Amino acid sequence: METLFKFKNWSLRVRIFLAMILITFISSILIAAVSVIHFQIENQEYHKDRLLRKEDQIKQHIQYVLEVTPHPLATFNLQSIFKDKIFEIADIHNIEIDIYDLSGHLVITSKAPIIRGQISPNLSESTIEKIKVSENNRFVSVAEGELNTYRFSYTYLMDYIENKPIGIIRLPYVEDDAFYEEEIASFLKIFGMVYLGMLFISIWIAYYLSRYITRSLKTISDRLTETSLTEKNEKIDLVTNSYEIDRLIQSYNHMIDELEESANKLAQGEREGAWREMAKQVAHEIKNPLTPIRLTVQSFEMRFNPEDPNAKQKLADFSKTLIQQIDTMSAVASAFSNFASMPAQQNETLNVVDVVDLALDIFNESYITFSSEGKEIITKIDRTQLIRIITNLVKNAIQAIPEEQEFKEIKVTVKSENGNAIITVSDNGKGIAKEYMNRIFEPKFTTKTSGMGLGLAIIKNIIENYNGTITFDSVLGKGTTFKVILPIINQ
């Protein structure tokens, strides 16, 4: 029975219903609290304004008395001037009046109320100082009496002829909050009636809205049960303790069971698609060395001279270059025939400087230059893979320079930095547009009219398999620089 009242066992419909009622209740409390505070602020402002108006009226009346009095306007004559007039003024304005000299001694009074701790025959020095420094020489203090709250207004009594103070006027004002309290009680009574009406309306709206929302969730559950997806999904292993959402999860898991059979049927088609992609990569890898081989053969045919004393060495170098590229194609073909995506990577310890220099031998372009800060930079990488990286980057650099461009330049450099071998390939070609920079390493993306767009994607994968990175900088119309970073082996 007690589990029935546990929150975690409540349905989503009940939670929505109670949440809306709670929002209405909290909103009503906040509105009532803000309204009461507003009434209090208005009441304080009302008493301040009322006291200020009484001050102005009394000061005008006192000013008139000073103008018609036969006595000289001096502090010692204040008792004579206001001996009878102070009672008349107090009766007319219905307020008590105290007059002090400038030292704070009581001169004359119209019987002001005695408040313990507040009314004394003389004014304190701090009160006199506050009157002097306050704006318009007016100071108001607040005191709590046994039954009421009092405001005491202090201001100078001025000699209108010499325009100098001759005394201090104190007006004790009683804050009568009876009207304010009556207004508050009336407001709360009306607000309570309105709140009850709002509460009944909120209950009705919350009830039907909660039914509508949960019914919508059930509809979604039914729709998901009828939906058939073409990709594999994991089951949801979650208990929410809400009947409607748990029903939705159960429907989803049931749908996953139905999709399992469809996924098996799709596997055949996916494998066929994978083989097609593999075939494209193999074709690209085989085609990649063919261009430099063709250029090497043409160059050798044009430049070979049988009578050259170094002809035998040149023929050996030519054969070595062709064998290197043929071995690369053979490795790719062997890997494909053995159901592998690419040739297996061998962790060879080699001198990056020598391998990069060897890879550049197949290119006959005179504007290709190679430099290295040292003769030996040792790293661990497959020789064939490193040659493939350099060949691909240099080939792309050549293709990036327009044929009609007069000054052509490709720089290949090797250096060591921070424990890494840094290989850079720079060209002064047409550069890469900003909109293509984020897609350079995507498979099948190319800006050339020929090629399959797999070269950079493949070499990026090779470099990352050896814990390296490849980046590039490019300026449109000025050229591009690719940077390959490979870890150096400490010897």
Express each pLDDT in 126-146 by its tens digit.
888 888 888 878 888 877 666
What are the structural domain ranges in the chain?
7-181, 346-491
User: Which pLDDT band, with edges at 50, 70 and 90, does 339 fall under?
Assistant: very low
Q: For helices 178-226 and 12-68, what crossing angle results, to 10°?
A: 160
Q: Has residue 473 got a pLDDT over 80?
A: yes
First to last CA, the chain: 76
Question: Do the beta carbons of residue 428 and residue 408 sit within 8 Å?
Answer: yes
At 482 the pLDDT is: 95
* Interval 298-307: pLDDT, tens: 777 776 677 7
Alpha helical stretches, state H, 227-374: 243-287, 290-303, 311-337, 352-359
User: Which pLDDT band, with edges at 50, 70 and 90, does 355 fall under?
Assistant: very high
Q: Percent of the chain, pLDDT > 90?
A: 12
Q: Has residue 340 got a pLDDT over 50?
A: no
Q: Has residue 237 got a pLDDT over 60?
A: yes
Q: For helices 455-465 and 383-400, what crossing angle results, to 10°?
A: 140
At 437 the pLDDT is: 85
At 454 the pLDDT is: 62
Residues sharing a CB contact under 8 Å with residue 168, sequence separation 6 or more, in sequence order: 99, 100, 101, 102, 104, 123, 128, 131, 154, 155, 156, 157
Of 234 and 99, more confident: 99
Of 229 and 118, more confident: 229
Q: Has residue 326 got a pLDDT over 70?
A: yes
Q: Has residue 443 got a pLDDT over 90?
A: no
* Interval 261-300: pLDDT, tens: 666 666 556 656 656 666 666 666 676 677 777 777 777 7
* Interval 159-184: pLDDT, tens: 777 788 888 888 887 766 666 667 77
- Most trustworthy range by pLDDT among 59-73, 213-227, 311-325: 59-73
Give the dihedral of Cα atoms 345, 349, 354, 358; nearest 10 deg.
Answer: -20
d(CA 188, CA 185): 5
Q: Which residues of 303-313 are buried (b: 16+ CB within 10 A; e: fewer)?
A: eeeeeeeeeee
346-491 to CATH, choices 3.30.565.10, 3.30.70.1290, 3.40.190.10, 3.40.190.120? 3.30.565.10
> pLDDT averaged over the chain?
76
* DSSP structural state of residue 288: T
* Interval 450-465: pLDDT, tens: 555 567 888 888 888 8
At 4 the pLDDT is: 43
| Topology adopted by domain 7-181 | Beta-Lactamase (3.30.450)
Structure tokens at 121: 């025959």
At 248 the pLDDT is: 65
d(CA 432, CA 409): 17
At 306 the pLDDT is: 73
Q: For helices 290-303 and 243-287, what crossing angle results, to 10°?
A: 10
d(CA 20, CA 311): 95
* Interval 64-96: pLDDT, tens: 887 778 888 887 888 888 887 888 888 887 788
User: Which pLDDT band, with edges at 50, 70 and 90, does 1 fall under?
Assistant: very low
Q: Has residue 387 got a pLDDT over 80?
A: yes
d(CA 372, CA 422): 10
Least confident of 102-111, 309-318, 416-425: 309-318
* Interval 4-41: pLDDT, tens: 445 556 666 677 777 777 887 888 788 878 877 877 77
Nearest to 78 by CA among 95, 113, 103: 103
d(CA 455, CA 283): 11
